[in-house]
Amino acid sequence: MRPGFRPLPMVLLALSLTRSVAAEVDAALAPADCVPATRVLELTRIQGPEGMVAVGGQLFFIVVSSTDWSLWRSDGTASGTVRVKTLAPITAPEGPRALTEARGLLFFSNGVLWRSDGTASGTHPVDVPQLTNAHPLREYRGRLLVIRPVPGRGDELWLTDGTAAGSRRILGEPPALDIHIRPSGSVETESGDLVFMAETVADPDTPRVFRLSRAGALVELFRASGSGIGITQLTAVGDRVFFFTDELAPGEPSHLWSSDGTWGSAVLLRNFGLIAPPFGLTAFDGRLFFTAVAEDGPRGFEPWESDGTPAGTHPFVDLRPGESAGSLPTNMTVLGDKLYFVADDGVHGRELWVTDGTAAGTRLSIDIRPGAPSSFPYGLATANGKLYFVADDGVHGSEPWKVFEDRPRRVADLVPGGGSTPIEPGVGPFDAPAGSFVRAGGFVYFLTASGETPDNALWSMKTGSYCPPR
């Protein structure tokens, strides 16, 4: 684990266990047919939701068996869920990872950079000699952004479409950099600049934040002072970036910083983290929203906001006043002009909340399990102008739900009656809870765990399906 990662207590994950179409009408199913989900693959080991990616209307994912690693794809049907290609024996030193879509192709790495068009013959290492050992980061400027390590000279940044003619270096020497490859290690600003974390090869103990403009200018935005300090949770809000510095020692605070993207502009906003580090940094309504606990007041974990200034960094709303544990917001997820999250106000249990970015406009979205008991929503993810999540209404067990046009409703009954099949939660940067659902084409996919073995099953359901009220 590289410097800068202080994992959140897993209790946060356990507690949590725009609109792209202008108009869409959900097709209601008859109550007797309220199982609008299909198990398309079972009794296998599939990497979590964070390892599944949509490419060209199909879902791609990695399956791990007792003998090998293989690439699979699905069109949402059982017959259309097929193995694309066996990639490596299970004894290989490194399995496929960092699945990334760019220009309608799939890219991933297992120590070597691969590309795939969804066919066996079209799945192979990239035919670009300089990029054979490159690591995919994200789609950027319409191509795949990769890190190319150069022994003795640090890392280079390249853009590629998987061909030699479509590949070019956008950052090399000087200075020689060791660039962070973790998902939260780079972001794209509203203007299209790339902001990333790195150390220089000459000074590997000093983490820094750099901005690479579209014109190729490299600007150092921040340099940590002192040894043993890490930079985490890099997040872009418009053209402004936020991040934490963390001294990685018990009893030491995390420091929230912000930069407008110019040299020397980084400003210390506030100290956190003597109790636990903040998490869930989310861009919404031109501001940063996140979950934190104040070090100098009676509040527990509550939602906070920041406009990038010290005065504008403060609690957003106190949902559970005077309670040392706080409302513990998790799974902050933007859907159109609303921000949804899960919290416990001490009256309704852990339920789904929503805000329009104002304290007056922050409310309980729905009390799925009425009264004090919790429905424990988790896995919030957006797809096709809808918000998907998992919840237990106390009658049907934990099942998929969605919000469409501000109307929450159950969308499947995987185990009819009160039974449940655990739906796997995603895990985001810094171990924060992430989405359980991935959209590809007209389907939303999710994984369920067997509960008795490490095996799991892949399910699909049409984005327009839901269970009508009874």
Specify the pLDDT at position 294: 77
Answer yes or no: is 63 within a domain. no
Answer yes or no: is 41 within a domain. no
CA distance 380 to 436: 7
User: 247 and 301 share a domain?
Assistant: yes
Residue 86 has pLDDT above 80, yes or no: yes
Answer yes or no: is 211 within a domain. yes
Specify the pLDDT at position 34: 64
Residue with tokens 């949770």: 233
Structure tokens at 385: 């102008």
Half-sphere exposure of 23 (CA within 13 A, CB side): 0
**80-84 mean pLDDT:** 97
Give the model's confidence band at 23: pLDDT under 50 very low, under 70 low, under 90 confident, else very high: very low
Answer yes or no: is 454 within a domain. no
Residue burial 261-290, b: 16+ Cβ < 10 Å; e: rest = beeeebeebbebbeebbbbbbbbbbebbbb
Residues 338 and 313 sit within 8 Å (Cβ to Cβ): no
Structure tokens at 242: 């936020």
Structure tokens at 176: 């020689």
CA distance 168 to 309: 38
User: 215 and 160 share a domain?
Assistant: no
Residue 1 has pLDDT above 70, yes or no: no
Q: Which residues contact residue 264 at a Cβ distance below 8 angstroms, ignoring those fewer than 6 apart?
A: none
Residues 340 and 387 sit within 8 Å (Cβ to Cβ): yes
**256-262 mean pLDDT:** 95
Specify the pLDDT at position 225: 80
Specify the pLDDT at position 172: 86
Residue 329 has pLDDT above 80, yes or no: yes
Residue 22 has pLDDT above 70, yes or no: no
Answer yes or no: is 200 within a domain. yes
Residues 169 and 157 sit within 8 Å (Cβ to Cβ): yes
Lowest mean pLDDT across 22-31, 92-101, 410-419: 22-31
Q: 155-208, pLDDT tens digit by residue?
A: 999 999 999 999 999 998 778 999 998 878 899 999 999 999 999 998 888 999
Q: Please provide the size of the chain in residues.
A: 470
Answer yes or no: is 242 within a domain. yes
Which residue would you say has higher pLDDT here, 144 or 246?
Answer: 144
Out of 328, 359, 375, a domain closes at 328
**43-57 mean pLDDT:** 89
CA distance 267 to 269: 6
User: 145 and 217 share a domain?
Assistant: no
Residue 19 has pLDDT above 50, yes or no: no
| Residue 175 preceded by cis peptide, ω within 30 | yes
Residues 29 and 465 sit within 8 Å (Cβ to Cβ): yes
Which residue would you say has higher pLDDT here, 27 or 398?
Answer: 398
Q: 345-382, pLDDT tens digit by residue?
A: 999 999 999 999 999 999 999 999 999 999 999 999 99
User: 224 and 268 share a domain?
Assistant: yes
CA distance 241 to 235: 6
Angle of CA points 84, 181, 271, to nearest 5°: 135
Helix (H) or strand (E) holding 15: helix 11-15
Residue 121 has pLDDT above 80, yes or no: yes
**62-87 mean pLDDT:** 95
CA distance 176 to 307: 33
Residue 278 has pLDDT above 80, yes or no: yes
Specify the pLDDT at position 453: 62
**436-458 mean pLDDT:** 86
CA distance 341 to 450: 27
User: 251 and 294 share a domain?
Assistant: yes
Specify the pLDDT at position 5: 38
Specify the pLDDT at position 421: 80
Q: Which DSSP category does 78 fall into?
A: S
With DSSP H G I counted as helix, E B as strand and the rest as coil, what are the percentages for the chain, rounded to 5? Answer: 5, 50, 45
Specify the pLDDT at position 251: 61
User: 282 and 195 share a domain?
Assistant: yes
User: 142 and 196 share a domain?
Assistant: no
Q: What is the CATH number of the domain that holds 257?
A: 2.120.10.30
CA distance 196 to 213: 11
Residues linked to residue 335 through DSSP beta bridges, in sequence order: 338
User: 139 and 203 share a domain?
Assistant: no
What phi, psi does 184 have (nearest 5°)?
A: -90, 10
**Burial environment of residue 33 by CB neighbours within 10 A (0 to 12, 13 to 18, 19 or more):** exposed
User: 225 and 137 share a domain?
Assistant: no
What is the domain range of residue 319?
187-328
Specify the pLDDT at position 178: 92
Answer yes or no: is 345 within a domain. no
The fraction of the chain above a pLDDT of 70, given in percent, is 87
Out of 273, 308, 328, a domain closes at 328
Answer yes or no: is 138 within a domain. yes
What phi, psi does 397 have (nearest 5°)?
A: 80, -175
Residue 465 has pLDDT above 90, yes or no: no
Query: Dihedral of CA 411/414/416/419: which sign?
Result: negative
User: 141 and 209 share a domain?
Assistant: no
User: 219 and 268 share a domain?
Assistant: yes
Residues linked to residue 82 through DSSP beta bridges, in sequence order: 73
User: 213 and 311 share a domain?
Assistant: yes
Lowest mean pLDDT across 27-36, 110-119, 452-461: 27-36
Query: Structurally, how many domains does the chain consist of?
Result: 2
Helix and strand tally (H, E) in the chain? 1, 39
Out of 109, 138, 173, a domain closes at 173
